[in-house]
Amino acid sequence: MTVHELSRADARRLAVRAQLLDRQRPTDLMDVVRHLTLLQVDAVKAVAPSADLVAWSRLGPAYDPEQLARAVRDQTLVEFRTMLRPREDLALYRADMAQWPGVHDLQPWEAYAGEWVRTNEACRREILVRLETDGPLTSRELPDICEVPWQSTGWNNNRNVGRMLDCLMQRGDVAVVGRRGRDRLWDLASRVYADDPVVPADEALRVRNERRLRSLGIARATGPDCPEEPLDVGDVGEQAVVEDVRGTWRVDPTLLGQPFAGRTALLSPLDRLIYDRKRMVDLFEFDYQLEMFKPAAKRRWGYYALPVLHGDRLVGKVDATADHAKGVLRVNAIHEDVTFSKALGAAVRREIKDLAGCLGLEVSLPSSAARPTRPDRLIG
């Protein structure tokens, strides 16, 4: 059995290349999404929607947010499990939809969801009838006739229509066809999903794992349960170990041994390069949290700080806010985890200016943010 031995630098460069963040930029949005397999939908627009940030960080000045909006409108990209995915990829989920909530070893929440939908069969049928006659509709426009409310200790408690729609999406009955403001627009899945042959469940899982590994470059074989999009890849690819990092990894061998040329990029806090925070720490030794849910006084880097990638290292964060009313991208601070050289500082400012241009804004860079801040931590 082949076991690849990688240094941390090897592993980082593998991950950066796989995520299309090296010097050779892609040029087509759909090529990017098909390679990455998804763009995460997130309603926070402190700087820009995460999906736009991810696309821009790959495509650079060639990217126009209208490209993504158009792909969603014409259903080239379809939202499924809070991710925008190429419409044709939904064939890889149809077998699981037919078996929802699963066939064996169900998690307690899966068993509860399945029983809850069966108990509220009348509500399920009414929603489908309304969508057939009047769709697309938002959840606010659909009736709640659930006999048994959804029970949870969190945000979704008693949000019956929203939970029913999510369950029906998992079953393959309904699909998201766009947004009206922050609300998802729903319609019958039969009007949305491509009429492609359904891929058997075991084969579909293998293909999804292979594509995920190709997009990540290096990943763990097993990981925590993430219903929206797993972080692990099963037994696809080949085994690897990373110097000074515990445990084993899986790598896409076709990506090994390639030359690496990096660049500077600003990343979404939800970028797949750093989304798996444990992997981020293991490979990049980067100290970062999304702090939007913290009280302002406890934030170290800002409400929605953008990590800074330089070559194969994560070297800082840019605390910025888009103020569309005033037409500016306001940079509150540039945090340096390593002391920026003159060239690196200039590269970061170019990226900030490019991001502002993509958003149709001017850069507002106060003098306090123009000077490097004291490094949070030095990385060798």
Per-residue exposure over 327-350, b if at least 16 CB sit within 10 Å of its own CB, e if not: ebbbbbbbbbbbebeeebbebbbe
Give 378's pLDDT tier (boundaries 50, 70, 90).
very low
- Rg (alpha carbons) of the chain, rounded to whole number: 22
Say whether pLDDT at 128 is over 60: yes
Residue ranges covered by each domain of the chain: 4-22+206-364, 65-191
What pLDDT is attached to residue 194?
A: 80
Question: Hey, is 162 helix, strand or coil?
Answer: helix
Residue pair 355/330 in contact by the 8 Å Cβ criterion: no
Helix H or strand E encompassing 163:
helix 160-171
* DSSP string of 171-224, one letter each residue: HTSEEEEEEETTEEEEEEGGGTS--PPPPPHHHHHHHHHHHHHHHHSEE-SS--
Residue 89 DSSP symbol: G
Percent of the chain with pLDDT over 70: 94
pLDDT in tens, 279-305: 999 999 999 999 999 999 999 999 999
pLDDT in tens, 36-79: 999 999 989 999 999 999 999 999 999 999 999 999 999 999 99
Say whether pLDDT at 366 is over 80: no
What pLDDT is attached to residue 43?
A: 83
Contacts of 359 (CB under 8 A, 6+ apart): 47, 48, 65, 322, 324, 329
Residues 108 and 88: their CA atoms lie apart, in Å, by 31
Q: Give the neighbor-by-neighbor strand order of the sheet with 83-86.
A: 39-40, 83-86, 77-80
Residues 193 and 175: their CA atoms lie apart, in Å, by 8
pTM for the model: 0.93
Residues 208 and 92: their CA atoms lie apart, in Å, by 7
